[in-house]
């Protein structure tokens, strides 16, 4: 009975993984680039503008830029270098990678919750005697 169940489960898994579900991965290159550009655009909008929104950007031509986001437009954003103060307009479609230094809202909440829990434990052990 166990062998039949194992064989049936294995057959279902093999059918599921090989039954034409790979067509979703066979997208054209421009479609992938458009999806990546939209993902980068959303990420840039989440970071916001100002000197606290520092990023490192890698472009399609392998150029690396670093600075803060000083302006966000519908099809591009402006990156300002911290050292020199020069501004560079960058199209979302030219970007391959963005690394931001800002923490997400969930990460900030987790940090504060951890600090509060540590204080609670400290006070608990201090006054538990």
The predicted-structure confidence for 33-73, as pLDDT tens digits, reads as follows: 888 888 888 888 888 888 888 889 999 898 999 999 999 98
- Two tokens, residue 103: 């923490």
Higher-pLDDT residue of 84 and 15 is 84
How far apart, in whole angstroms, are the C-alpha atoms of residue 97 and residue 37? Answer: 10
Residues 6 or more apart whose CB falls under 8 angstroms from that of 80 comprise 67, 68, 69, 70, 86, 87, 88
The count of domains in the chain is 1
Specify the pLDDT at position 18: 55
Question: Please, which pLDDT band fits residue 118 given cuts at 50, 70 and 90?
Answer: confident
Integer CA distances (angstroms), 112 to 16, 34, 77, 115, 116, in order: 43, 37, 31, 5, 6
Q: Which of 16-25, 72-81, 94-103 has the lowest mean pLDDT?
A: 16-25
CA dihedral 122, 124, 126, 129 (to 10 degrees): -160
Residue 14 has pLDDT above 80, yes or no: no
Specify the pLDDT at position 121: 85
How far apart, in whole angstroms, are the C-alpha atoms of residue 80 and residue 59? Answer: 15
**Residues 89-106, mean pLDDT to the nearest whole number:** 82
Higher-pLDDT residue of 10 and 59 is 59
What domain range is 110 assigned to?
2-127
Task: Indicate the average pLDDT of the chain.
Answer: 80
List the CATH number of the domain containing 120: 2.30.30.100
- Two tokens, residue 107: 């990460």
Per the confidence metrics, is the pTM higher than 0.75?
no
């Amino acid at each position: 009975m166990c062998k039949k169940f194992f064989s049936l489960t294995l057959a279902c898994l093999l059918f599921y993984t090989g039954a034409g579900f790979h067509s979703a991965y066979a997208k054209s290159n421009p479609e992938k680039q458009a999806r990546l550009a939209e993902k980068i655009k959303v990420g840039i909008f989440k970071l916001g503008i100002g000197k606290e929104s520092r990023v490192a950007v890698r472009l399609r031509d392998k150029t690396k830029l670093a600075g803060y986001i000083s302006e966000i437009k519908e099809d591009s954003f402006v990156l300002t270098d911290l050292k020199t103060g020069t501004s560079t307009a960058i199209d979302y479609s030219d970007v391959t990678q963005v690394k931001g230094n800002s923490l997400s809202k969930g990460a900030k909440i987790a940090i504060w919750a951890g600090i509060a829990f540590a204080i609670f434990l400290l006070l608990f052990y201090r006054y538990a005697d």
